[in-house]
Structure 1
């Protein structure tokens, strides 16, 4: 196990360098001058523009900018915003908010997605199965921003159960509605994936053996069926937890959640390359760590899996 973890950590290094390079090149290939855009429609002094470009290192060759960025990154320096504030300070304030929102969404996704999928899988071919498949198909077909405004109108404006916008991101109860909207699409995929794996494993030989041995149905379903069916679901959930951060851009905008998604949207609108690159670099690190944790969880779910 130790050698496997060490090998995976070494594999993360070229992946991390390659992804950050790609992100850096994509951000800096956007048309327009981000420094000139700070003045909007107003006239700007060319000398001031050149001075700011020099202070942010934008007058250097692109490869030199990337090398300087990576040097600072390994020293914990994510650069500075155009306002002169460290990018890490911006991220450190917004990141915990997005983590709480993503955790709420993931819990909803796990409980509802696996619950509905397991119920449909055990009732394969029956009315309950058909109802779950139709419901998840409808959810998948509706864009996230439509679901967000619909939920905001019904539960906040008409029923008055929650506030339309999040007033305090520290209050976990105010994140339930945006977390539910954020989780809906992934919950539908989890339900369909769980339903498929349950229906397939119900016909497996080990299931017939467990039933023939006279084991209680609760043990057959809860131990043998559930653990083997969750392997592909856990793979999806682990990758989706990182995806929830990126998907939060729309949800955080609708519900005024001051998280990483909101920060990324503002940085994109203002063409702040250092902020965009810093935020997406955090996303890359989250994905890499989560993929490693998922691989290690396989052995917990299925003892037959061993790591060479």
Structure 2
């Protein structure tokens, strides 16, 4: 197990470098000048622009800029915002916890509701309950998240008055429940359908018939045999989905005025603040890589036949 983890950690290095380099080059290729954008329509001395670029290292070749950024990341320095002159690490530190809370709410909702619906539908495959779950999940997949967000605002905020249409305090977890539900809707549908298919398939497996023939209690058959084998593909999807929820929060945060990473990315792109965008992507890549490592290790917990040499 230890050698496997060490090998996976080493494999993360080229993935991390390749991803951050790609985003860095994409930000460099965007049209516009971030220093010139600070002054809008005002006239400014070109010498002053050159001096500011030199202060931030923007006058260096792109590869030199990336290497300097990479060296700074390993020291905890993600660069400095040009507009506010604040360290990018401080800016991310303020916005990221909000998105993490929103992602956790959406993830818990996805797991609890999505897996429950999938289990009910899978154990009653072909019946009315199964059909109802399939219709519901198909509707959630078909409706874009921004449309669902406005519908939820109209129903739960405007009509019922259970909450405010937009988030007033992004640090209050209770106000993130509605946007978290909207964020989780698409993932919930996929988890429910994946769980349903896995449960229905394993219900017909030989080992299930053997367990029933041995006279094992139904609760033990479902919890120890059916669920553990059926959850392997679901756990794989959920591991990948954490990254999808964090990136999908950009749209949801815009609809509900959540002051998280999504709002920060939008402002950074509009001002062409490459350091901020690359810093956010760097943090997300690190989270994504370690979550996938944890998912791979969970395989051995769910299925005793899986061993990592």
Instruction: Give yes or no for the alignment of 1:140 onto 2:141.
Output: yes
| 5+ long unaligned stretches in structure 2 | none
The alignment partner of 1:39 has SS state of coil
Normalization by structure 2: what TM-score? 0.97
Tell me the CA shift for residue 67 of structure 1: 0.9
Within 5 A, what are the aligned runs for 1:283-294?
Answer: 283-294=284-295
Instruction: Give yes or no for the alignment of 1:282 onto 2:263.
Output: no
Tell me the CA shift for residue 296 of structure 1: 0.7
For residues 231 and 47 of structure 1, what CA distance do their matches in structure 2 show? 60
For residues 162 and 194 of structure 1, what CA distance do their matches in structure 2 show? 32
Counterpart in the other structure of 1:199: 200
How far does the alpha carbon of each residue in 1:194-218 deviate from its partner, in whole angstroms, 9 at most, with x for none? Answer: 0110111111111111111111222
For residues 137 and 230 of structure 2, what CA distance do their matches in structure 1 show? 19
Count of matched residue positions in the alignment of Structure 1 and Structure 2: 308
Counterpart in the other structure of 1:10: 10
The alignment partner of 1:271 has SS state of coil
How far does the alpha carbon of each residue in 1:69-125 deviate from its partner, in whole angstroms, 9 at most, with x for none? Answer: 111111110000012100000011111111111010000000111011111111111
Greater CA deviation, 270-279 or 40-49?
A: 40-49
Instruction: Give yes or no for the alignment of 1:67 onto 2:67.
Output: yes
Within 5 A, what are the aligned runs for 1:33-182?
Answer: 33-82=33-82, 83-182=84-183
Instruction: Give yes or no for the alignment of 1:29 onto 2:33.
Output: no
Output the aligned Cα RMSD.
1.1
For residues 180 and 102 of structure 1, what CA distance do their matches in structure 2 show? 10
Tell me the CA shift for residue 63 of structure 1: 0.8
Counterpart in the other structure of 1:239: 240
For residues 268 and 186 of structure 1, what CA distance do their matches in structure 2 show? 27
Within 5 A, what are the aligned runs for 1:261-280?
Answer: 261-280=262-281
Counterpart in the other structure of 1:185: 186
The alignment partner of 1:35 has SS state of helix
For residues 239 and 205 of structure 1, what CA distance do their matches in structure 2 show? 30
The alignment partner of 2:34 has SS state of coil
Tell me the CA shift for residue 165 of structure 1: 1.6
The alignment partner of 1:80 has SS state of coil
For residues 286 and 134 of structure 1, what CA distance do their matches in structure 2 show? 34
Normalization by structure 1: what TM-score? 0.97
How far does the alpha carbon of each residue in 1:37-96 deviate from its partner, in whole angstroms, 9 at most, with x for none? Answer: 222333333222222221111111111111111111111100000121000000111111
For residues 26 and 103 of structure 1, what CA distance do their matches in structure 2 show? 29
The alignment partner of 2:296 has SS state of helix
How far does the alpha carbon of each residue in 1:232-268 deviate from its partner, in whole angstroms, 9 at most, with x for none? Answer: 1011111111211100001111111111111111111
For residues 162 and 270 of structure 1, what CA distance do their matches in structure 2 show? 33
Greater CA deviation, 29-38 or 67-76?
A: 29-38
Tell me the CA shift for residue 27 of structure 1: 1.2
Counterpart in the other structure of 2:19: 19
